[in-house]
Amino acid sequence: MLLERIYDEDLAQASYFIGSQAKGEAIVVDPRRDPSLTITTSLSTWLTIACTASMKSWRRIASSTRA
């Protein structure tokens, strides 16, 4: 398991690169507007970005599943 925090000082925005070395795949949560650092992280860790997700979509799903 790999967890990498990618922080943009200018926008005060954090994104997260979460990967599985066993599967060779990663997910990017709240990806940056400029994908260059995320792509560099993917290449340096030998992990393929399988998908991206935003916290907005997670909040929407969580609120719709509450009883």
Residue % of the chain over a pLDDT of 90: 57
Total domains in the chain come to: 1
Query: How far is 11 from 22, CA to CA, in rounded Å?
Result: 33
Residue-averaged pLDDT of the chain: 85
Amino acid in the structure at residue 62: A
Structure confidence by residue, pLDDT tens digits, 35-57:
898 999 999 999 999 998 887 66
* Domain span including residue 13: 2-64
Reported as a pLDDT band with limits 50, 70 and 90, residue 5 is very high
Residue for token pair 């990017």: 28
The token pair that represents 20 in the structure block: 């599985």
The pTM of this model reads 0.77
Q: For residue 67, what are the contacts with CB-CB under 8 A and spacing of at least 6?
A: none
pLDDT value of residue 10: 86
Nearest to 29 by CA among 13, 45, 43: 13
Strand order of the β-sheet with 13-20 is 2-8, 13-20, 25-29, 48-53
